[in-house]
């Protein structure tokens, strides 16, 4: 039997309340949407769902204060202030570490600012419940899409996916989306300190390392942000792309 959750149109299977799921989300200068993001995440009514926003010194507005106020009445919110941050990817990884340390059974990675829609969470939860090791959000599979994204960014995302699939031998529709989910054992088996990427190549790197696991893509709609993309970031991504196969042995922990 399916269960309806507030804020979600449709019926999904009841989530096992014994499984602890933690959403990791780097946030910065997102005061305009922060309260909405939090409200929509918890509107689903999932039991044992936690929210770990990761913030650093780059954030100059009231994002932190909004989260702290929400956390006063919601024990499922844990704000992580990552003083040693070296950018958004380091915040992802620090969020993973703390989620694992706090006993997460599954970890979902999202971007803030409503770029990733909290209303699409149920499909990630469903696929994790079905036993998939990794669930990848895809803008380019049937039912997915993008909006408010400049043409050059769309071309980079599509071209990056095509090139990555050719070089790495992967067969995914989207190699660069940041909306994704993992079972605990996946991240626990990785040396997270060995992740090479510090920018947009990170998503491709993770998908490559996990290609032999039980993975599935689900459609998402991505809303673009005002953040630009530096040429140096593209060059770094190309450089790392051709190093991943050799570097893979450094990432997985020896069993």
Write the pLDDT tens digit of every residue in 172-214. 999 999 999 999 999 999 999 999 998 889 999 999 999 999 9
Other Cβ atoms closer than 10 A to 183: 20
pLDDT band per the 50, 70, 90 thresholds, residue 5:
very low
* 1 assigned to some structural domain: no
pLDDT band per the 50, 70, 90 thresholds, residue 236:
confident
* 10 assigned to some structural domain: no
User: Residue 70's domain spans which residues?
Assistant: 16-251
Phi/psi region, residue 245 (left: phi>0; alpha: psi -120 to 50; beta: rest), is alpha
Domain count across the chain: 1
What are phi and psi for residue 23, nearest 5 degrees? Answer: -90, 125
pLDDT band per the 50, 70, 90 thresholds, residue 68:
very high
Write the pLDDT tens digit of every residue in 145-170. 998 777 777 888 888 899 999 999 99
First to last CA, the chain: 39
* 240 assigned to some structural domain: yes
* 204 assigned to some structural domain: yes
pTM of the model as a whole: 0.89
* 189 assigned to some structural domain: yes
* 201 assigned to some structural domain: yes
Residue carrying structure tokens 């149920």 = 122
* 11 assigned to some structural domain: no
Residue carrying structure tokens 């499922």 = 76
Q: What is the CATH number of the domain that holds 197?
A: 3.90.550.10
Give the pair of three-digit tokens for residue 202: 């990170």
Instruction: Give the separation between CA 67 and CA 244, rounded to whole angstroms.
Output: 37
Question: Quick one: average pLDDT of 93-113?
Answer: 97
Residue 232: pLDDT over 80: no
* 5 assigned to some structural domain: no
Residue 12: pLDDT over 50: no
pLDDT of residue 6: 32
Question: Quick one: average pLDDT of 98-110?
Answer: 98
Instruction: Give the separation between CA 40 and CA 196, rounded to whole angstroms.
Output: 33
């Amino acid at each position: 039997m399916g269960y309806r959750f507030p804020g979600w149109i449709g019926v999904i299977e009841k989530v096992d309340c014994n499984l602890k799921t933690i959403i990791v989300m780097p946030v910065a200068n997102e005061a305009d949407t922060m309260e909405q993001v939090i409200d929509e995440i918890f509107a689903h009514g999932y039991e044992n769902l936690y929210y770990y926003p990761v913030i650093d010194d780059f954030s100059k507005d009231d994002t932190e204060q909004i989260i702290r106020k929400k956390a006063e009445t919601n024990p499922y919110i844990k704000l992580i202030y990552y003083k040693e941050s070296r950018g958004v990817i380091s915040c992802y990884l620090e969020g993973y570490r703390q989620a694992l340390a706090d006993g997460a059974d599954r970890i979902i990675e999202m971007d803030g600012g409503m770029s990733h829609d909290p209303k699409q969470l149920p499909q990630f939860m469903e696929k994790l419940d079905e036993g998939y090791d990794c669930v990848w959000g895809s803008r380019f599979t049937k039912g997915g899409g993008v909006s408010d994204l400049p043409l050059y960014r769309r071309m980079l995302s599509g071209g990056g996916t095509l090139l990555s699939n050719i070089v790495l031998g992967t067969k995914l529709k989207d190699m660069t989306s940041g909306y994704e989910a993992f079972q605990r054992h996946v991240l626990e088996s990785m040396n997270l300190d060995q992740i090479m990427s510090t920018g947009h190549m990170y998503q491709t790197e993770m998908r490559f390392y996990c290609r032999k696991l039980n993975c599935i893509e689900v459609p998402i709609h991505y809303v673009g942000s005002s953040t630009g993309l530096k040429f140096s970031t593209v060059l770094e991504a190309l450089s790392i792309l051709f190093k991943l196969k050799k570097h893979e042995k450094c990432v997985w922990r020896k069993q």
